[in-house]
């Protein structure tokens, strides 16, 4: 739940229900209501069957109401307004709700995140308990998504489809060309983006560099006039790309190095790359404004 995705929570037990959302570190209770359901023990004799029937009917109506309110809170304009839904509470109620297609909307069923969570309480205490349990589930979900994403990237390379890029230079060229569909970047990517200004000519050059490359004194001297150059902008590349990736029409995906695939991506491909909409001939592309320290080795 570290990103901007919003997740829905539905806590249901025999005393009532609560609807809430969690987005990042913000939790919000949308609605809660209590219910007074008849207990299992009724009178003996002839009324026992009637009592049991009424009890089942009231429970069924309660679960139906819970399902209807879930649609009201978690679906907007005919589509879910959350990325995923967690259902928590007492076993029989949550089971009854999620397995009966008449009671539980198919659109919510499609985004239900397993497993159903067992919490000891209802209401807000149950909500807090469910959030704790869900964070573990979500880290597993993210782990699986990460493995799939990097596997897809590695498949493109294995097929030599050309619809991939990696390393800071190729990736920036792909972004500049609008060809990158999904930008993949390591969450601890450490390069900086600096813009260097020639105060005499007002010409600016953009560089994306490692901490070691930044120490190169040649960066800060004009080779033609020997004028001292100034740093005009200086920020972590990660911060910059988070603010700017949408300008390139790309989707941004962060990965860790915790999975085998993620680790391979970070170590073997420099921690940055992308899946592309179409193949680009990088050798034929003009350099974008981005300059890399190893540009001397490029073709003339």
Same domain, yes or no: 290 and 184: yes
Q: Alpha-carbon distance 80 to 73, whole Å?
A: 9
Predicted confidence at residue 48, as pLDDT, reads 80
Q: Alpha-carbon distance 185 to 254, whole Å?
A: 5
Residue 153 falls within a domain, yes or no? no
Same domain, yes or no: 19 and 138: yes
CA–chain centroid gap for 62, Å, is 34
Q: What is the CATH number of the domain that holds 23?
A: 3.30.420.60
CA distances 35 to 13, 133, 276, 290, Å, are 9, 25, 53, 63
Same domain, yes or no: 131 and 169: no
Q: Alpha-carbon distance 167 to 149, whole Å?
A: 17
Residue 170 falls within a domain, yes or no? yes
Predicted confidence at residue 116, as pLDDT, reads 94
Residue 1 falls within a domain, yes or no? no
Strand order in the sheet with 26-34: 26-34, 16-23, 6-13, 84-89, 117-118
Q: Alpha-carbon distance 98 to 84, whole Å?
A: 14
Q: How many domains does the chain have?
A: 2
Residue 258 falls within a domain, yes or no? yes
Last residue of a domain, one of 142, 174, 194: 142
Last residue of a domain, one of 82, 109, 142: 142
Predicted confidence at residue 4, as pLDDT, reads 61
Q: What is the CATH number of the domain that holds 203?
A: 3.30.1330.30
pTM: 0.61
Predicted confidence at residue 2, as pLDDT, reads 47
Same domain, yes or no: 189 and 73: no
Instruction: Give the residue among 201, 199, 183 at the shortest CA–CA distance from 272.
Output: 183
Last residue of a domain, one of 90, 112, 142: 142
Residue 221 falls within a domain, yes or no? yes
One pLDDT digit (tens) per residue for the chain, 300 residues? 445 688 999 999 999 999 999 887 788 999 999 999 887 765 555 578 888 888 899 999 999 999 999 999 999 999 999 999 999 998 789 999 999 889 999 999 999 999 999 999 899 999 999 999 998 887 777 788 888 899 999 999 999 999 999 999 999 999 999 999 999 999 999 999 999 999 989 999 999 999 999 999 999 998 888 899 999 999 999 999 999 999 999 999 999 888 888 899 999 999 999 999 999 888 776 555 454 444 444 443
Task: Tell me the torsion sign for CA atoms 163, 167, 170, 175.
Answer: positive
CA–chain centroid gap for 39, Å, is 43
Predicted confidence at residue 23, as pLDDT, reads 85
Q: How many CB atoms lie within 10 A of CB 200?
A: 11
Task: Indicate the pairing of strand 16-23 with strand 6-13.
Answer: antiparallel
CA dihedral 166, 169, 175, 178 (to 10 degrees): -100
Predicted confidence at residue 41, as pLDDT, reads 62
Domain holding 65, by residue range, is 6-142
Same domain, yes or no: 217 and 100: no
């Amino acid at each position: 739940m570290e990103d901007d995705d919003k997740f829905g929570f539905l806590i249901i037990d025999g005393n009532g229900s609560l609807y809430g959302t969690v987005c990042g570190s913000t939790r919000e209770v949308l609605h809660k209501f209590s219910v007074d359901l008849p207990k299992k023990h009724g009178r003996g004799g002839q009324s026992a069957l009637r009592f049991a029937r009424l009890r089942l009917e009231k429970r069924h109506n309660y679960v139906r109401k819970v399902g209807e309110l879930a649609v009201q809170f978690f679906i907007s304009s005919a589509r879910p307004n959350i990325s995923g839904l967690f259902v928590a509470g007492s076993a029989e109620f949550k089971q009854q709700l999620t397995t009966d297609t008449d009671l539980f909307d198919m659109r919510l069923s499609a985004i239900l995140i397993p497993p159903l969570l067992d919490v000891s309480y209802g209401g807000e205490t149950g909500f807090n308990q469910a959030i704790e349990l869900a964070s573990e589930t979500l880290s597993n979900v993210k782990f699986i998504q990460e493995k799939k994403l990097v596997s897809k990237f590695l498949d493109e390379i294995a097929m030599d489809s050309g619809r991939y890029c990696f390393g800071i230079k190729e990736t920036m060229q792909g972004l500049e060309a609008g060809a990158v569909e999904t930008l993949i970047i390591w969450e601890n990517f450490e390069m900086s983006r600096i813009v260097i200004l020639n105060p005499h000519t007002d010409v600016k050059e953009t560089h994306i560099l490692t901490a070691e490359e930044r120490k190169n004194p040649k960066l800060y001297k004009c080779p033609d006039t020997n004028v001292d150059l100034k740093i005009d902008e200086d920020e972590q590349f990660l911060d910059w790309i988070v603010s700017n990736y949408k300008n390139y029409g790309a989707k941004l995906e962060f990965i860790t190095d915790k999975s085998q695939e993620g680790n391979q991506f970070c170590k073997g491909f420099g921690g940055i790359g992308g899946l592309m909409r179409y193949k680009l001939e990088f050798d034929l592309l003009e350099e974008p404004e981005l300059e890399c320290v190893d540009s001397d080795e490029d073709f003339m």
